[in-house]
Amino acid sequence: MEKYTGKAIFKGVAIGRILFYGKQENTVKRSKIEDTAAEIQRYEDARKKSIEQLNSLYTDAVKKVGEENAAIFEVHAMLLDDDDFNDSVHNMIETQKVNAEYAAAVTGENFSRMFAEMDDEYFKARSADMKDISERVISVLTGKETNYTFDEPVIIAADDLMPSETVQLDKDKVLAFVTKFGSANSHTAILARTMNIPALINVPVTPDWDGKMAIVDGHTGTFYIDPDEETVKDMQAKREKDLEARRLLQELKGKENISLDGQKINLFANIGSLADVGSVLQNDGGGIGLFRSEFIYIGRDTMPTEEEQFSVYKTVAENMAGKKVIIRTLDIGADKQVDYLGLEKEDNPALGFRAIRICLTKPEIFKTQLRAIYRASVFGRISIMYPMITSVEEVEEIQKIVTQVKAELDADGIPYGEVEQGIMIETPAAAVISDELAKMVDFFSIGTNDLTQYTLAMDRQNDKLDRFYNSHHKAILRLIQKVVENGHAGGAWVGICGELGADTSLTETFLQMGVDELSVSPSMILPVRDAIRKSHAKKA
């Protein structure tokens, strides 16, 4: 028996055979061609087919795992439209008279190396993406497609897994995954937790393990190869204990989210699409604390109309049958792009033209969404929250636009309901002036993912920073406490909708801080409810 220790990114026990998942590297040979125009057209046809594949994958992934986790496909489609990349391929074909496969492979390698050597962490992260998109085009050119389905359930072992690969895996056939590289805060890690798949990173994976029996212990971060009978027996008992715990959680359906000393808290769900609503209801969510509206805008060629948006918001509100639905307004920007908005490339998009900054700069887009939301508010309990707020002036400008929208609806004789107004606290600036902001809105929702990233000045997807990245940092917890206190003093209720809200090691801390609501992925509703019911809201 061999035993290895890695870093666990999702708890659970998996027992089964290993499938070593090697990337299907296309062997590309350099060939001389005569008709360069025909070869360029061949490349363009393959590029367009690749973009069609990515758009289709995005649509499927949004339904399975939500817009945020599906965004990787949109990023790849955007990169395949990059003029510099395509000009390089065209130029190689024309000047060197080489085949499209070779030109795409060399360009992908060159761009990947160039990004890897940049100081900016965002562009460093694009290095692997450049390799990924060139491989996709080459696969189309050669007719060799990667197989993401398996005959039997397996433990996937790999050097690394791109989010684009993880999303396509047949969830029913994946027991767990184990990788050599990766970050605990990467999109892939978040996706694994969303899909409830036990996972380990930083394990010295080798192709020799393919076909061997193995055990993943996501509780201790241990990986066993060819386990002995005693270990198998122990792990089977541990797995059965996990399954029993899940069964017990089902008994919490219909129970209150109330602490041992009688403190109640709202427990809502984060969703990214209409398809997620069923999971919210199945897991007994009390409402929707974050509806990411971006998915309506992404993966299409034109702006969604007011009627299209209204139909989505109305359906969600009706399906939730009177339970609260908090819709986050358009949060486009950074690595979530839509071509039809014509946004320029930025050196540091995470700190750039995104979210509310786009809405306030392009008020007609903003007003269309607000009209759709207000019209849908007749069909349920809808609230609105605005992302990436940094100042009082931004909120004042939002309020003026909301007033205009309501006046227009009144003039048109269109009814609407009472709509709570809230803002996301995800920048240190908003947290620091939360005492002033609280007097202007009905509620705060703390986005801990970005709040942590901006407070610590660390890219949460950069695996080199794992040893420094600490979501439990005192600065983060103090900011949350400050926001809760300022919110309540100003008459606003306060929720948490970031990943930290599902961290059950902090549930009691949040109760003692006075947090009013936690919004988590649907699969975490019952585990968090269990933690609430075992906690004390008052300090001893």
What mean pLDDT comes out for the span 309-327? 92
Same domain, 190 and 318: no
Annotated binding site for Mg(2+): 426, 450
30 located within any domain: no
CATH number at residue 184: 3.50.30.10
Tell me: the pLDDT tens digits for 342-377?
666 766 666 777 789 989 998 999 999 999 999 999
Q: To the nearest whole number, what is the mean pLDDT of the chain?
A: 87
* Farthest CA pair distance, the chain: 81
Domain shared by 288 and 385, yes or no: yes
Local confidence band at 300 (pLDDT 50, 70, 90 cut-offs): confident
Virtual torsion, Cα 115, 117, 120, 123, nearest 10 deg: 10
251-259, long-range: CB < 8 A, 24+ apart:
252/284, 252/526, 252/529, 252/530, 252/533, 253/283, 253/284, 253/526, 254/284, 255/529, 255/533, 257/286, 257/529, 257/532, 257/533, 258/532, 258/533, 259/511, 259/532, 259/533, 259/535, 259/536, 259/537
**3-state SS, residue 184:** coil
Closest CA to 83 of 336, 338, 345, 258: 345
Give a yes or no: residue 540 inside a domain.
no
Are 200 and 298 found together in one domain?
A: no
Same domain, 216 and 84: no
Assess whether 168 and 309 both reside in one domain.
no
- The binding site for phosphoenolpyruvate consists of 292, 328, 449-450, 460
Which range is least confidently modeled, 9-23, 59-73, 306-320? 59-73
Give the pLDDT score at 194.
63
* 87 — pLDDT class (breaks 50, 70, 90): very high
Classify burial at 36, counting beta carbons within 10 Å of its beta carbon; exposed 0-12, middle 13-18, buried 19 or more: middle
Whether the predicted pLDDT of 334 surpasses 60: no
Q: Which residues contact 311 (CB under 8 A, 6 or more apart)?
A: none
- For 327-355, what is the mean pLDDT? 71
Flag whether 257 is in a domain.
no
Residue 368: the pLDDT is 95
**Residue 336 pLDDT > 60:** no
Question: Binning pLDDT at 50, 70 and 90, where does residue 2 land?
Answer: very high
Same domain, 307 and 418: yes
For residue 165, the enclosing domain spans 2-23+148-248
The CATH number of residue 82's host domain is: 1.10.274.10
The CATH number for 356's domain is 3.20.20.60
Reduce the secondary structure of 458-473 to three states and give it as a string: CCCCCHHHCCCCCCCC
Residues 17 and 152 in one domain: yes
Of 248, 278, 313, the residue at which a domain comes to its end is 248
pLDDT band per the 50, 70, 90 thresholds, residue 65? low
Q: Which of 108, 142, 176 is the last residue of a domain?
A: 142
Q: Are 325 and 240 part of one and the same domain?
A: no
Does some domain include residue 437? yes
| 499 located within any domain | yes
* Statement to judge: residues 429 and 444 lie in one domain: yes
* Mean pLDDT within 457-484: 89
Enzyme catalytic residues: 187, 497
| pLDDT for the residue numbered 349 | 66
CA dist 187 → 67, 162, 219, 469, 476 (Å): 12, 9, 21, 15, 21
Q: What is the pLDDT of residue 338?
A: 60
Q: Please report whether residue 256 resides in a domain.
A: no
Looking at residue 350, its pLDDT comes to: 67
378 and 449 together in one domain = yes
The domain tally of the chain equals 3
Whether 253 is covered by a domain: the verdict is: no
275 and 187 within one domain: no
pLDDT band, residue 381 (cuts 50/70/90):
very high
Tell me whether residue 454 is in a domain.
yes
* Boundary of a domain, candidates 111, 142, 173: 142
Is residue 390's pLDDT more than 80? yes
Binding region: 292, 328, 426, 449-450, 460
Q: Which range, of 31-35, 239-243, 449-453, averages the lowest pLDDT?
A: 239-243
Confidence of residue 187 (pLDDT cuts 50, 70, 90): low
Res. 66: pLDDT tops 80: no
335 shares a domain with 226: no
How many CA atoms lie less than 13 Å away from 53 in the CB half-sphere? 18
